[in-house]
Structure 1
Amino acid sequence: MRINQEEGSKRVRERTLWAEGVLPAAHQRLNQAATAIPADCAALPFADALRELVQVQADTTGFVTRHDFAEILERHFPPDLPDPDRTTE
């Protein structure tokens, strides 16, 4: 059992080091791809939200909190607010 725990711990450390090495370059590629999206493209809010989420992930210890996640999604995908000039008949 101890061997399995040590092996599991070793794998987690290796994967963490790998992710720390890969994330900056992958994030840069994501930013480059997202900046190439035309402003009128329907995918732009998705790309912008993903870019921000990845940035928050990179800036933390590897965990984006639920409230950070919700704030980002609310910012890029705000709820449809009722139009005060529209009346129902």
Structure 2
Amino acid sequence: MWHTPDCPQWTIMQIGWEADSRRIKEQDQWAKEVFPAVYERLRQAATEMPPDTPAQPFIDALTELVHAQADTTGFVVLRRWVEILERHFPPHLPDPDRTTT
């Protein structure tokens, strides 16, 4: 669709894009300011959990994933997610003594 420079619909679309862009920048700035404190609360809560809790692999994986995010300027790439999750949730190898007869 083509718009002329004086098209009201085009002007409305531009205003919307600028408002969205400003809102995203504000949200990103807020997140960057709040993230260190939230991350510290997560780390503190994780250390307060008893070590023998069944949720320990989940706690460790979440803490490591958030730490990986803290070390980046963008997003944690999928390869890094898989490395972390594989470490905390390794695949179970088949039991050679078990048969399905």
1:45 to 57, 61, 64: 57
| Structure 1 vs Structure 2 CA RMSD | 1.4
Letter in 2 for 1:45: P
Counterpart of 1:75? Answer: 87
Task: Choose 4-13 or 74-83, whichever is displaced more.
Answer: 74-83
Counterpart of 2:78? Answer: 66
| TM-score, normalisation: structure 2 | 0.80
Instruction: Quote the sequence identity (%).
Output: 57
Deviations 1:34-53 (A, max 9, x none): 01111110111101100111
| TM-score, normalisation: structure 1 | 0.90
Q: Give 1 or 2 for the bigger CA radius of gyration.
A: 2
Letter in 2 for 1:19: A
Cα distance, 1:2 vs. partner?
Answer: 1.0
What residue ranges of structure 2 are gaps of 5+ in the alignment?
A: 1-12
* Distance in 1 between residues matched to 2:24 and 2:74, nearest whole Å: 13
Deviations 1:31-82 (A, max 9, x none): 0000111111011110110011111111112311111111110000001123
What residue ranges of structure 1 are gaps of 5+ in the alignment?
A: none
